[in-house]
């Protein structure tokens, strides 16, 4: 029996795990070397001393309460768990933490317990580092001006930043929306949208799903989110989390100021374009008056014929109807000329629409036709059998074409050129719609070619010199380019491009 006790004593002393016997008041009755090592105090100095002296101050009361609970356990086979921070060895010493597993001593002697100690310092440091990392990540998110939401693969929010919370507070959002975590992100966006909610939500769902599935590296969407007292627009950018994590980061940036500036720029651009169109009408006016005089003279002639035939007896009904038909045709011709002019002069709408580029060219040719005939200039158009689809503001593109054609006709007339021809070529080249206008005029001098697109620069005796400058602005606003060259055989060559428009199903 004595040998067994000696063996147990040896096991107690030399075990790699810490063991202690503690009184209810915290005094150490017995402790092995492994446990003493955890406290960084010699075993002899711990015996008979309160263990609370070697525990961090913030855990001393908790230790006393824990020991009282242990000694009060009725079921003496039960082990109670507790975590202790030990007193730091110095101001720069790493934190030390132990887990205690205690049970009352199973005998008639009351008021003390057996305790097993496990060093959990490494776990505590890892947990502390994790918390510090999370706090740093949150601090970084909160420092960003964009509204940020981190979402999991199911589209639920796992984290938001202060900008998100502030936006929710300032716009009457619920406490759940302000907290963000756990909400269905797509439903949250759908609820916040004012217009086109279903379409935008569907586009957002598809884009976010593609990012989460690894099919896209980024998804970007501009959308309106108007409040009761102001109009707002936001840019949503979705990028994957990276570093092997599944999920995405969604950032919302307020682009209202940019959108308002773009809208103001479009308005100013259209005002300048309208002024340039009125200037073009001045060039076309004399030719249009001449062009109108022909159908109006015919109207007068057929009107007299109708009156004469109507008074004849017997009534020649077939001749009367034929004269009336001729009268209507001439009226329709005059109305067509005026309608084309009125449409060209009106303030254009800012919206774009799909259309065939060759139709816009033909419309412009119709407008400048009277001027070309008066100046004895022949205009020809060359394009393939297939239509050239573009998405543009039709009136503004017609304005560009009218300006280029008027310039070409007037250049030929000023130069008193023997060959009087303007040729338009429309085609799709390198994935772009391209229109080239060549003339047989005197062409550009090197000095003039360098400043041909400058505002208030003109070779004409009349005019403001805004036409080409405005035309370039219009083309560039449509995503294209406009440039001028001297033709290889003389004359001027002006070319502009526009993006080809393909419907969604054909891309």
Q: How far is CA 128 from the centre of its chain?
A: 38
Asked if residue 291 lies in contact with residue 370, where contact means CB atoms within 8 angstroms, the answer is yes
**For residues 433 and 458, which has the higher predicted lDDT (pLDDT)?**
433
**Which of 254, 276, 300 is the endpoint of a domain?**
254
User: Concatenated DSSP letters for 342-359?
Assistant: HHHHSPPPS--EEEEHHH
Residues 29, 34, 37, 42, CA torsion sign: positive
**Whether residue 361 sits in one domain with residue 345:** yes
**Whether residue 497 sits in one domain with residue 396:** yes
Pair of tokens at residue 2: 């004595």
Predicted pLDDT at 500? 93
**Whether residue 413 sits in one domain with residue 363:** yes
**Domain annotation covers residue 130:** no
Most confident of 12-21, 217-226, 457-466: 217-226
The residue range of the domain holding 56 is: 2-125
**Whether residue 487 sits in one domain with residue 356:** yes
* Nearest residue to 411 (alpha-carbon basis) of 402, 421, 424, 396: 421
pTM (2 d.p.): 0.47
CATH number at residue 94: 3.30.450.20
pLDDT in tens, 148-186: 888 888 888 888 889 888 888 888 778 888 888 888 887
**Domain annotation covers residue 493:** yes
**Whether residue 41 sits in one domain with residue 148:** no
Predicted pLDDT at 384? 82
DSSP state of 51: G
**Arithmetic mean of pLDDT, 282-290:** 54
**Domain annotation covers residue 159:** yes
Pair of tokens at residue 447: 């000095």
**Whether residue 457 sits in one domain with residue 343:** yes
Q: How far is CA 133 from the centre of its chain?
A: 30
**Which of 254, 277, 300 is the endpoint of a domain?**
254
Asked if residue 400 has pLDDT above 50, the reply is yes
**Whether residue 157 sits in one domain with residue 94:** no
**Domain annotation covers residue 135:** no
**Whether residue 217 sits in one domain with residue 268:** no
Asked if residue 501 lies in contact with residue 397, where contact means CB atoms within 8 angstroms, the answer is no
**For residues 435 and 397, which has the higher predicted lDDT (pLDDT)?**
435
**For residues 309 and 138, which has the higher predicted lDDT (pLDDT)?**
138
Give 457's pLDDT tier (boundaries 50, 70, 90): very low
**Domain annotation covers residue 49:** yes
**Whether residue 19 sits in one domain with residue 85:** yes
Mean pLDDT of the chain: 79
Percentage with pLDDT > 70 across the chain: 76
- φ and ψ at residue 159, rounded to 5 degrees: -160, 150
**Domain annotation covers residue 137:** no
* Nearest residue to 385 (alpha-carbon basis) of 426, 423, 355, 437: 426
**Which of 254, 287, 308 is the endpoint of a domain?**
254
SS3 at position 80: strand
**Whether residue 426 sits in one domain with residue 362:** yes
Predicted pLDDT at 387? 92
CATH number at residue 319: 3.30.565.10
Asked if residue 425 has pLDDT above 90, the reply is yes
**Domain annotation covers residue 223:** yes
Asked if residue 63 lies in contact with residue 50, where contact means CB atoms within 8 angstroms, the answer is no
pLDDT in tens, 80-105: 898 888 876 666 666 688 899 998 87
Asked if residue 2 has pLDDT above 80, the reply is no
Asked if residue 71 has pLDDT above 80, the reply is yes
Asked if residue 393 lies in contact with residue 478, where contact means CB atoms within 8 angstroms, the answer is yes
* Nearest residue to 364 (alpha-carbon basis) of 309, 264, 460, 435: 435
Total domains in the chain come to 3
């Amino acid at each position: 029996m004595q040998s067994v006790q000696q063996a147990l004593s040896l096991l107690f002393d030399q075990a790699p795990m810490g063991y202690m016997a503690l009184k209810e008041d915290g005094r150490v009755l017995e402790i092995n070397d492994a446990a003493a090592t955890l406290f960084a105090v010699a075993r002899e100095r711990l015996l008979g001393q309160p263990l609370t002296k070697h525990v961090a101050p913030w855990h001393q009361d908790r230790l006393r309460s824990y020991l009282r609970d242990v000694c009060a356990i009725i079921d003496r086979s039960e082990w109670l768990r507790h975590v202790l921070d030990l007193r730091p060895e110095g101001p720069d010493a790493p934190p030390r933490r132990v887990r205690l597993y205690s049970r009352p001593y199973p005998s008639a002697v009351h008021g003390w317990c057996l305790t097993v100690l496990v060093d959990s310092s490494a776990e505590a440091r890892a947990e502390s580092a994790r918390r510090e990392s999370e706090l740093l990540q949150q601090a970084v998110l909160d420092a960003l001006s964009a509204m940020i939401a981190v979402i999991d693969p199911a589209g639920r929010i796992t984290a938001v930043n202060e900008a998100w919370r502030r936006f929710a507070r300032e716009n009457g959002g619920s406490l759940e929306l302000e907290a963000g975590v756990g909400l269905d992100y797509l439903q949250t966006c759908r609820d916040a949208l004012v217009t086109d909610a279903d379409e935008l939500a569907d586009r957002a769902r598809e884009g976010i799903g593609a990012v989460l599935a690894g099919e896209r590296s980024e998804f970007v969407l501009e959308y309106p989110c108007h409040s009761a007292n102001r109009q707002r627009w936001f840019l949503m950018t979705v990028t994957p989390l990276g570093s092997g994590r599944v999920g995405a980061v969604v950032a919302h940036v307020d682009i209202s100021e940019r959108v308002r500036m773009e809208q103001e720029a479009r308005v100013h651009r259209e005002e300048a374009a309208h002024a340039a169109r009125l200037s073009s009408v001045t060039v076309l006016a004399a030719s249009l008056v001449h062009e109108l005089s022909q159908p109006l003279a015919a109207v007068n002639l057929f009107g007299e014929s109708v009156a004469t035939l109507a008074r004849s007896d017997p009534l020649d009904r077939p001749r009367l109807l034929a004269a009336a038909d001729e009268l209507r045709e001439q009226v329709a011709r005059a109305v067509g000329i005026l309608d084309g002019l009125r449409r060209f002069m009106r303030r254009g709408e800012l919206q774009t629409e799909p259309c065939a580029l060759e139709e816009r060219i033909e419309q412009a040719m119709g407008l400048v036709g009277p001027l070309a005939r008066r100046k004895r200039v022949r205009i020809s158009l060359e394009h393939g059998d297939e239509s050239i689809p573009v998405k543009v503001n039709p009136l503004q593109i017609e304005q560009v074409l009218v300006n280029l054609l008027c310039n070409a006709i007037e250049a030929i007339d000023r130069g008193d050129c023997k060959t009087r021809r303007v040729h338009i070529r429309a085609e799709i080249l390198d994935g772009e719609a391209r229109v080239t206008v060549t003339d047989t005029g005197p062409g550009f001098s090197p000095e003039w070619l360098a400043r041909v697109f400058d505002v208030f620069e003109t070779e004409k005796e009349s005019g403001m010199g805004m036409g080409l400058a405005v035309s370039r602005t219009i083309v560039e606003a449509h995503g294209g380019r406009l440039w001028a060259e001297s033709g290889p055989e003389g004359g001027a060559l002006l070319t502009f491009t526009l993006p080809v428009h393909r419907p969604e199903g054909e891309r």
